[in-house]
Structures are given as C-alpha cells and as structure tokens.
Structure 1
Amino acid sequence: MGQDVEFPGLGEGIRSRFVDDVNGLRVHILESGYRGSRRPLVLLLHGFPELAYSWRKVLAPLADAGFHVVAPDQRGYGRTTGSDVSDLMSFRTDNLARDALGLVRALGYDRAHLVGHDFGSVVAGWTTLADPRVVGSLTMMSAPFAGVGLAKSSADLNDALRALSPPRRHYQHYFAGTSSGADLIGAPQGIADFLRAYFHMKSADWPGNADARELPGATAHDLALLPRYYVMDAGVTMPETVAPHLPSPRERADCAWLTDEELGFYAREFGRTQFQGPLNWYRALTLPRADAPTDPRIEVPTQFIAGQCDWGIWQTPGGLRTMAEVVCTRFGGSLLIPDAGHWVQQEQPLAVLAQLSRFLDET
C-alpha cells in the first residue's frame, strides 16, 4: 500500500497485514521491503505504550537499505489478537520471546536481526538467549538488558521507597497493580491528553530530562532522584503524575516527531483495546521466575542505542555496565543520541537509522 489515512504519517512502501498461527496469536504487522528478491529480515519490537506504528519513521528507510523490515503489534497490543488478558502466564517474558521466534518462522525465515525498544529490548534479549541460532544481530534501545529473570523492582525496594518522605513507589510496581488498567483507560484528562503528557514528559522536549545521568547507587534515596514518571509519589496515578506536564497548544503544534494526527492514532488504538494486555507484561514480572536459558550470555553482535536525555538508561543502576561487560560477549558499543529522550527512534530517526544501517551492514 501507499499512504494510508488509517495510519497517519506512514511512508510509501509500507503495508499492514496479519500473520496467523504465531504461538496462538494472529499478529498484525507493518512491513516494508517485502517486494522483489528475498532480503535479510529485521524484526522491530516495540515497548510501552507503543505499537508497531512506533517504528513508522524507520521502516521504509531500512527497507531502502536492503532489508525486509517487520514491526509487529506485540501480545496484548494493537490489532494483534488471540491473547487472553486473564492468562497472566502467557505474558511472561519467556513466552513473549516465543512470540518473536514464532513470527520469524511464520514469515518464512530461519534467521533475523532483532531491534528492541524499551520493554521490547528485554524481549529481544530473551529471544536471543532462547535461540541464538535465529538471531544474526541484536540492537537494544533505551532499556539496557542486564540478564534474564530479574524484575526491576522488588517488594523490599518498594517498602524502602514508601518509607521516604514523601512516600514513593516504582512505576513498575504501579503498572503491575490491579488498578493501573482502570486508571489509564479512565484518565480524567482523556486518553489522548494522558498519552500526550506521558510521551512529552519522557522526551527531550521536557526540561527535566536534560540532566539525565547515572545514579550514584541503588538505594531508595538514589532511585528517588529519578523523575516522577519512574519513581512516582505513592498514592498518585500515572495520569495524575503526568497531567501537570501536558505541553501547551503551541508546544504540541511544534512537536514534529509526534503530531496531533499521529498521537490520535495511539489514542484510538488504546481506546479500543485498553491497557490491560500491555500492563500484563509488568504484572507477569511478579510471577515466579520464568525458565531461564541455560547460558545467560548473549554471543551475537550487539549494540545499544538511546537518547542522551533518557533517564531510562540509568533506572536500573549498573544495568548498562552489566550488559556491556558481562551479558553481551560481542558488545559493539553504546550510542547516546543528542536531543533525544526515551522515544529515540521517533525523536531522532535519522541518527537511529544511520547507526542501525552501519551496524547491520557489518553483521
């Protein structure tokens, strides 16, 4: 298809379709580079609260560089169907990895380059460990992968955060709770304004991200240095947390990386599907540890890309170092892109594309 009004901002040469029988799912994908001779597969895995659509700015250019590029709506998201939100076990990270491996096979490939953003970075790491024969290279974005089977926030940590003055709580603890789904879908400001404020507050446009830096340690007091969208005030919902930071009409009009039309697509999709499926990814972290691969090391060519104004790089103290020095034995380096926050492939797609193209050409 060409430009599709249903997917605003989607470039020429990108199509939307479904792939059946993927680990029990009917997976919706956006893809480019599907015409002509067979090309190497690049699989793009989104995070929260994102969609296949979050890769809209890099799909066609990566295809122009010689790849078959596929971005799925992952389990519980968007137009992918077949998941049951009451089956929490199916949202464990090991099963999300099986989804990715199943999609590679369903597309007719036995090998793919993986690119994961945010929680998708964790899924990409798990997928590589689950079957490294399938993965030609691994790019993790915005969220370092420091190993398998570890939730980022424990009960003990949240007890320590609640003991602070004022009391705080980790956002993953909130997202894993029983009320967060209703909080997000019932945001007093409406879904569109909630998402606009959330995206804005985690981007380079929000002044509080300009000094993103490594934390001095991993205590509750250290983690409390993170912005409120990571370590929230206890008893305050995420819509309430981000509401005061809704950008002005002028700021929204000037936001070239996420237009109101593009934001409207996110709002419609999450308004239709609601948030419980995506939040189940966090709830599943509270289950007994998933079966870890026998070898915890990643031995394929690996790189890390993030925005320089992204606190997410540092939210797990020591995570970036552990990924580079322990987990990934063929780590090629980290690139922190200026003038980008957490949504790096949307905020600075040209810089991301340049790095991805170089890396993929070398692997």
Structure 2
Amino acid sequence: MEGIQHNTINILYLADHGYRAVAPDLRGYGQTTGAPINDHTKFTILHLVGDLIGLLDAITNEGEKVFVVGHDWGALIAWYFCMFRPDRVIALVNLSVTFAPWNPYGDVVGMLRQVHGDDHYMTRFQKPGEIEAEFGKMSYQTFIKKFFTLRDPGPLLFPKGKGFLHSPPDVPVILPPWLSEQDVEYFATQHEKAGITGGINYYLISWRGAKVMVPTKFVVGDMDLTYHMPGVKPDEMMFHSMRLRMGLCAFGCKCIILLVKVQVLRIKVSWFTLNNMEGIEHKTINVNGLSIHLAEKGEGQLVLLLHGFPELWYSWRHQIVYLADQGYRAVAPDLRGYGDTTGAPVDDPTKFTIYHLVGDLIGLLDAITSEGEKVFMVGHDWGAVVAWNLCLFRPERVKGLVNLSVPLIPWNPMGDVIPMLRAAYGEDYYMVRFQEPGDIEAELARMDAKTIVKKIMTFREPGPLYFPKGKGFKHSPDDAIVTLPHWLSEEDVEYFASKLEKAGITGGINYYRAIHLNWELSAPWSGAKVTVPTKFITGDEDLVYHMPGIKDYIHNGGFKKDVPLLEEVVVMEGVAHFINQEKPDEINKHIVEFIQKF
C-alpha cells in the first residue's frame, strides 16, 4: 500500500553515501501504468519479478549485479527475485516479511482463514470488488492514515461493513512524528489516481524446497503484524487446528519435512511388453494433485527420461533397458495429460504451463530420491523443453542434461513463438492449429488413434507440419496407407494408440495452448543461462532443426552463450524427429558416454 514517497529518506541517504538508489512504483501502484487491474491473474509473483528484471535490463549494464531492499510485498518479491535470479543480486536486505517457502498443503490464505476467520485482511481481499467497495466509504486520506498508523501486533481484521476493526470510521487519527499530513496527501493522491485494486491483486497469489542463495540481512519490528503471524517467530511453533498440524503457515521461518505418499502399483502393460523389457517396474506416485505413472528399471544414479508429443514413457523403452544394464536407475514418467498419469484438468490449458510441468517433476523427484540427490535428465521434444526449464529454475537438482531435438528457446521480449510461426507458415501450421480449444481434436477425431500415431511418428519431411482445416495431415491423406519404418512396429503403434484412446489428445495439445502464458510468466528469466553440463543431439531431417533461425542459433554461438556448459552438439545424418526411437543404439551410447563423466 506504499509508493516512492515512502522511500524518499532512504533514497537520499543512499545517494549521500555514494549509491544509486532506484525505487519504482510496482505494478498496479502510483504512476506505473498499463497493468490490467481487472485481471488478478496478471499480478502473480512471476509477473512482478519479470517487471523488475525488465527494469534492470533497461537501466543497468549487461552482467551488472545490484543490491535489493524490500519491505512488505516488496520483500516477498525480493525473496523470489533472489531465488529465481541470484545471478542478478549482490546482496539483499529485507524488512518485515520473512521468506515464504512453498507449502504442498496449500496457500497461506486458506491457513489464515482457519486461524483468523473470514475477517482477516488477506481473506477479505480475495473477492474482487468487495473490499474496494468497503474502502470506498472513506476518503483516501483516511484510508492511508488508518493503514499506516496500525500498531496492533495482532491480526488485521476488516469485519464486513465495519471497516478497520482497530479504528472505527468516526475516530480521528493522530499521526505519528514520522508521518506528516504532506506524506498522507501524496500517498492519497497516488492511490486516488491508480486505485487500490492493483495492490490488492497481489494477495490473489509457487518453488518447492528451493533456497535463497543470496547474502541476506532481515529486519523486523517486534510490533509488526507479520512478526506475530503463526509460526514466524523463531521460538514458537503454533498449531491452531488439526489441519495446521500438517504444515506451518507459509509465512513461517521454520519448515518441516513432509512425507509424500508413494503408492506403488502394478500396471498391466499388455502383451506387447516384449521380452527385452522384462524387469521394468510400473508405479504410481501421487504428487501435485496428479497420479503420475512411471516406468523404472535399474539401480544406481537416477536418469530421468522425459517424453514429447504425442508420446509416453514407452518412447524410452530402449533407453530404460540399456541404462539399467549400464548400472543406472532409469525412470520415465508419463507427463501431465499423457498415458496413465491422471488428475490433470484437460479442459483448462492454463494448468499446463511450464511451471506446472516442472513442478510435477520436482514433486516426483522429492518422492523418489534422497534429500540433496542430483539426477541426470534426458528430454525429447516437449520433454526437452521441460528439461531446459527445470535446469533453468532448479540447477541444483541436476547433475547433467542430454536433450534431443529441441534446443533452448530463450525468452524473447518481443513475444511468444506462435505469432512468428503464424507469419512464417500460415494458419495451417500445426502449432497454430493447436491454439483453438477443440478445433484440432475435432479434426483428428475423424481418424482412429492408430492412424494418428502412425502419421505423426512417420513424418520425415524437414519442412513444416501442416494440418489444413478439413484435410487432416497435409503430408499424408486420411486414406493413405502408412508403411511403418523398421524402428516402429505394429505392437508399438498399438501401445501408443491404446493410451491415446484412454487419455485423449487434449492434454498433450494443451502444452501448445499454454505457450503464450509461459511467455507472459517467464520474464523473470530474461537473459538467464542454463548452468548445467549439457549435450544436445538432433537429426538433420528433424522438423525442429529446420524452423526459422534454429540452425543459426545452434551453430553460430547463440546456443553456447545461453548454455555456457554446453559440451557437445551432435547432428545425426538421415535422422528425423523421433530420434531416440529411430536410432536407439546410437542415442543410448551418446547418453552414457556423456553422463559417465560425472
């Protein structure tokens, strides 16, 4: 509820001591404009940190680190800024609000509602327009005075129709010596101009087990209401209900080790589980609201294998067996929306962002690895995209990365990739066709699942993949007979098709529908590097390799700049997109040759 005026004394003092002090009005506040205040989904921590990264890109030199000081919501943003981009920060001083570690049992609002009831200020802030109407009964000057003079260390309550519980509307407010009428007037004029909804949207608000790796000093007052929230003080742990016994309030400094229920189930893999796949164990792991199916074999260092579209764990059948024989523990999950992994809301593409996908894997790794254990990752197609982002977000979880087909696509401030692909290839291009919910599903429903699998997996043109409306696959008419290559058997097709019929294709297509939202939320990683040892492999007939700008990016320095620990790029001649299935022996050797270095 603050602004630049609140920081004036600090700005002058820092400047007098030889520092460049910069204090922005944050998104939705004061003289900062352009935020859609009627849409609270545009006020996530990712938007807020992204704003600051963009600001620093504009006002600092490349590679320049800064000091960060935050208070209240500014402190919360600063914590996440330092978690997401420690490479941009020298040190941090935060005031009032402690670090809020991600809690798998739910967000802080539900817990505060249990503890303090529906009148707690964060709870009251949840319904759009409600608290604004409440505050609209008083002048902005009165609103500012009542907020800034709150000194009750207990919870801040707003009973419906009564305004500030600690200060009735008709009670005059005596200003403290540090807050003048001129200060109040400035804050009031800015809030009158911008409104209060932007700031309230911050409360409609995820990095499991992550640490803030920036030198930090924390300062709080003993009468600060946040200091008296449940679990915040270092000498107390308060359980206010049976539900709260499962986890601390998200504002707490303390953490408890959370045991994730792991349910091991035998899953029927049918008659086409070939003899050379014997010993592969199938499990279901319950994390992030999903029941994640995985295939696993072997003991030793864990290698996590991530499939692409429209595939399954089964795409890694050759790698699982080989890696296990070489002394590794190979784990290949069905990703969100695919195969035997259930629980994803396929009717909501916003639940398929890169943050959901990476979050699923962090939860999975927490469940199947020891604390502090690093893993190797291998990704193909969308699995590669997920792997790049996991390494970007959580490099401390990964020992080494081998990615196939899709290189890192760095965040572009000009926008997401879909408009560029539309401009290059037109409306029939597959990623463009995938954007409209239900459109491509209706198109593909005209053919059976086995035909879909065959036509996609046998596509070998290095040019773009088209789905003209009403015509299905442009490269292969609906009634054309597909001749299977040697590496894809009818049994393989049958397995892929059986799972496609069960799960549907919408889950996988939703990955494409979330591309714009991924872009919108990924501004915090503008200019970020993947700092994990990496090997990249593609085929010279892969359609991704022939997308605009990809070859130049891979071979002329851009890729190495963004992935400084990129050790090798391999381009296999005569190989198309489904490289790990088409050339399993070569890919197996490439993977093991790389990961055995570590």
TM-score (norm. length: structure 1) = 0.81
CA pair 282-157 structure 1, distance change in 2 beyond 3 A? closer
Per the alignment, in what secondary structure is the counterpart of residue 55 of structure 1?
Answer: helix
1:267 maps to 2:497:
yes
Instruction: Name the % identity.
Output: 30
Alpha-carbon distance in structure 2 between the residues aligned to 1:302 and 1:156: 27
Q: CA deviation at 1:27?
A: 0.5
Aligned match of 2:291? 26
Q: Deviations over 1:14-70 (max 9, x none)?
A: 1111112x2221100011104xxxx11100011101101110111011111111110
Q: Deviations over 1:193-248 (max 9, x none)?
A: 2221221113xxxxxx4xx4xxxxxxxxxxxxx24x1xx265355x3324338875
- Given candidates 365, 373, 396, the residue that maps to 1:104 is 365
Q: CA deviation at 1:335?
A: 1.2
RMSD of aligned residue pairs (Cα, Å): 2.6
Aligned match of 1:154? 418
Aligned match of 2:436? 177
Q: Deviations over 1:243-273 (max 9, x none)?
A: 3388757x33xx3311011101111111111
Alpha-carbon distance in structure 2 between the residues aligned to 1:157 and 1:256: 32
Residue pairs, 1:41-52, within 5 angstroms: 41-52=302-313
Query: Unaligned stretches of 5+ in structure 1?
Result: 163-167, 203-208, 213-225
- Given candidates 320, 328, 347, the residue that maps to 2:554 is 320
Alpha-carbon distance in structure 1 between the residues aligned to 2:320 and 2:479: 29
Looking at secondary structure, tell me which structure has more strand per residue.
1
Q: CA deviation at 1:130?
A: 0.9
Alpha-carbon distance in structure 2 between the residues aligned to 1:104 and 1:51: 18
Aligned length in residues: 323
Aligned match of 1:218? none
Per the alignment, in what secondary structure is the counterpart of residue 344 of structure 2?
Answer: coil
Alpha-carbon distance in structure 1 between the residues aligned to 2:540 and 2:342: 35
- Given candidates 529, 542, 549, the residue that maps to 1:310 is 542
Per the alignment, in what secondary structure is the counterpart of residue 520 of structure 2?
Answer: coil
Per the alignment, in what secondary structure is the counterpart of residue 281 of structure 1?
Answer: helix
Q: CA deviation at 1:152?
A: 5.9
Per the alignment, in what secondary structure is the counterpart of residue 474 of structure 2?
Answer: helix
1:235 maps to 2:469:
yes
Q: CA deviation at 1:95?
A: 1.8
1:62 maps to 2:323:
yes
Aligned match of 1:199? 457
- Greater Rg over alpha carbons, structure: 2
CA pair 316-139 structure 1, distance change in 2 beyond 3 A? farther
CA pair 305-122 structure 1, distance change in 2 beyond 3 A? same
1:244 maps to 2:505:
no
Alpha-carbon distance in structure 1 between the residues aligned to 2:558 and 2:394: 18
Q: Is the 8 A contact 2:430 2:467 kept in 1?
A: no
Alpha-carbon distance in structure 2 between the residues aligned to 1:98 and 1:116: 16
Matched AA of 2:495: F
Alpha-carbon distance in structure 2 between the residues aligned to 1:105 and 1:42: 14
Per the alignment, in what secondary structure is the counterpart of residue 17 of structure 1?
Answer: strand
CA pair 98-292 structure 1, distance change in 2 beyond 3 A? farther
Alpha-carbon distance in structure 1 between the residues aligned to 2:301 and 2:337: 27
Per the alignment, in what secondary structure is the counterpart of residue 137 of structure 1?
Answer: strand
Query: Unaligned stretches of 5+ in structure 2?
Result: 1-265
Q: Deviations over 1:114-164 (max 9, x none)?
A: 1110011110000001110001011110111122478763336525644xx
Alpha-carbon distance in structure 2 between the residues aligned to 1:125 and 1:172: 20
Alpha-carbon distance in structure 2 between the residues aligned to 1:114 and 1:141: 11
Per the alignment, in what secondary structure is the counterpart of residue 243 of structure 1?
Answer: coil
1:130 maps to 2:389:
no
Alpha-carbon distance in structure 2 between the residues aligned to 1:247 and 1:335: 34
Alpha-carbon distance in structure 1 between the residues aligned to 2:529 and 2:348: 30
Q: Is the 8 A contact 1:324 1:333 kept in 2?
A: no
TM-score (norm. length: structure 2) = 0.50
1:11 maps to 2:271:
no
Matched AA of 2:282: S
> Which protein, 1 or 2, shows the higher relative CO under an 8 Å CA cutoff with sep ≥ 6?
1
